[in-house]
């Protein structure tokens, strides 16, 4: 008997019929003798609907108090899901019980709308599993030190599932989604993209951080930190597929580099449309200026991605960085009203119509000329590079958003990723 965490995304929970199929699939694993904890997302579209209602009432939505109430509102979507799934499981003849994150409890900090998990008390879950119950826990949410509901950010149910698996030392965490694994890139952009049978933790961490929507980056970080066996697979296969076949399907995120991994120079192409670029121009080039710019941004709880500081000329320099597009207007206002006057900057500018495209691969550690191939490919397509960032196993560029799909398709071909599907 194994302890397994199942996570189901919003599309898997998108209707009562799909919830019924989830219940049948879970029931199959339970009847095979496994203990199952299920972490479902809200029904597809529900979180957007709830936040849309809030936006009608308060378009600004930037104060901490508003963010706090947004969390209280958004968390209700998952509470609906766990209740419906518990009912469906009971209808399948199984003993099931559901909990909200605050009931477990899943304790977080107070960074509303993007809280981080601090601890999980699994005693209640373990007691129910020992009693033969299926336990269903809301994803995406927890409770802070003041007893208020918090949410973990978009895709936070992945993080909830992996964190619960880590806390309980589960044998495996299965992430059921609307795709059948991790692909070399998004098949909607490149139809020739192929599924990877395995991907290293390092590569998956980079892919998630660079825009791949398959897994939230924090879920991959949890998996890596606590070495949680993690598999991404489809919830749209027939629910009665043999367990052995289902357990080998999808993409396994591995912590052991396979012997043939070094042969693949680039494993995938990631991209992110949700980027915006801001620049603080004509800043005095002296110690501490970077901190004065980014310190103010950090205090506003805004995440910064790529950073570039230009060479100094006549004692002045330009400082550019990227943020999530949702934070663009707030960042620009902060820079213009607070940072520029405090630093003596000449100008603040920005561009919300950019995107980030990245190549990722363990093989980049031992191959030279990979970045050059990327730059040559983009040049041949007439695509200008605005910013560049590199690490051992990835190279990222910022380009004009209108060239994103062209860039992804060209790079996918250039690195030989078009090919036969990976073996399961």
Domains and CATH numbers, the chain: 3-256 (3.40.1160.10), 268-414 (3.30.2130.10)
Beta bridge partners of 183: 195
Distances in whole angstroms, Cα of residue 401 to Cα of each of 40, 196, 357, 384, 398: 33, 27, 10, 11, 9
- Per-chain mean pLDDT for the chain: 92
Q: Is the Cβ–Cβ distance between 331 and 297 less than 8 Å? A: yes
* Residue from 110, 96, 106 nearest 161 by CA: 106
| SS3 (DSSP) at 404 | helix
Query: Cα angle vertex 127, ends 170, 233, to 5°?
Result: 30
* Residue from 320, 335, 218, 221 nearest 278 by CA: 320
pLDDT tens per residue, range 362-411? 888 888 889 999 999 999 999 999 999 998 899 999 999 999 999 999 99
Distances in whole angstroms, Cα of residue 139 to Cα of each of 7, 37, 81, 108, 160: 8, 11, 10, 13, 5
Outline where 151-242 has alpha helix (H).
Answer: 156-168, 201-209, 217-226
Name the pLDDT band for 264 (thresholds 50, 70, 90). Answer: low
Q: What's the whole-number mean pLDDT along residues 82-106?
A: 97
pLDDT tens per residue, range 166-187? 999 999 999 999 889 999 999 8
User: Strand runs (DSSP E) across 161-267, as ranges?
Assistant: 172-177, 198-200, 230-234, 251-254
Q: Is the Cβ–Cβ distance between 47 and 74 less than 8 Å? A: yes
Query: Global pTM?
Result: 0.81
Which segment of 62-66, 75-79, 288-292, 359-363 scores lowest on mean pLDDT? Answer: 62-66
DSSP symbols for 295-318? HHHHHTT--EEEEEEPPPBTTEEE
* Non-local CB neighbours of 304 within 8 Å, separated by 6+ positions: 294, 297, 298, 321, 322, 323
Q: What's the whole-number mean pLDDT along residues 150-173?
A: 94
Instruction: State residue 258's pLDDT score.
Output: 47
Q: What's the whole-number mean pLDDT along residues 331-350?
A: 93
The phi and psi torsions of 296 (rounded to 5 degrees) equal -65, -40
């Amino acid at each position: 008997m194994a302890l397994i965490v199942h996570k189901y995304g919003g599309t898997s929970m998108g209707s009562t019929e799909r919830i019924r199929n989830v219940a049948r699939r879970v029931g199959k694993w339970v009847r095979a003798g496994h203990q199952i904890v299920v972490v479902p997302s809200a029904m597809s579209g529900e979180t957007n609907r709830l936040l849309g209602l809030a936006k009608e009432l308060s378009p600004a939505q930037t104060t901490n108090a508003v963010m706090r109430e947004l969390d209280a509102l958004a968390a209700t979507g998952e509470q609906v899901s766990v209740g419906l799934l518990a009912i469906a499981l009971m209808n399948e003849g199984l003993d099931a019980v559901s909990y909200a994150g605050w009931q477990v409890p899943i304790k977080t900090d107070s960074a509303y709308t993007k809280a981080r998990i601090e601890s999980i008390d699994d005693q209640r879950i373990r007691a129910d599993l020992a009693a033969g119950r299926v336990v269903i826990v809301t994803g995406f949410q927890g409770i802070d030190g003041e007893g208020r509901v918090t949410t973990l950010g978009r895709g936070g149910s992945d993080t909830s599932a992996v964190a619960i698996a880590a806390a309980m030392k589960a044998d495996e965490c299965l992430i059921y989604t609307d795709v059948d694994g991790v692909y070399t890139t998004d098949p909607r952009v490149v139809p020739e993209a192929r599924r990877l049978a395995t991907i290293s933790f390092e590569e998956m961490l980079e892919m998630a951080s660079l825009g791949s929507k398959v897994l939230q980056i924090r879920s991959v970080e949890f998996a890596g930190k606590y070495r949680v066996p993690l598999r991404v697979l489809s919830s749209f296969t027939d629910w009665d597929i043999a367990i052995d076949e289902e357990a080998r399907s999808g993409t396994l995120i591995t912590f052991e580099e396979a012997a043939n991994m070094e042969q693949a120079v680039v494993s995938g192409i990631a991209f992110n449309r949700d980027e915006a670029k801001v620049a603080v121009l004509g800043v005095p080039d002296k110690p501490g200026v970077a901190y004065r710019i980014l310190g103010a941004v950090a205090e506003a709880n805004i995440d910064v991605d790529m950073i570039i500081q230009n060479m100094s000329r006549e004692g002045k320099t330009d400082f550019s960085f990227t943020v999530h597009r949702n934070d663009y207007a707030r960042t620009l206002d902060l820079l213009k009203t607070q940072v520029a006057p405090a630093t003596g900057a000449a100008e603040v500018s920005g561009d919300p119509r950019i995107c980030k495209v990245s190549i990722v691969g363990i093989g980049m550690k031992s191959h030279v000329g990979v970045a050059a191939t990327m730059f040559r490919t983009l040049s041949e397509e007439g695509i200008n590079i605005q910013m560049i960032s590199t690490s051992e196993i990835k190279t990222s560029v910022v380009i004009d958003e209108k060239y994103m799909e062209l860039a992804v398709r060209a790079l996918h071909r250039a690195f030989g990723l078009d090919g036969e599907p990976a073996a399961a």
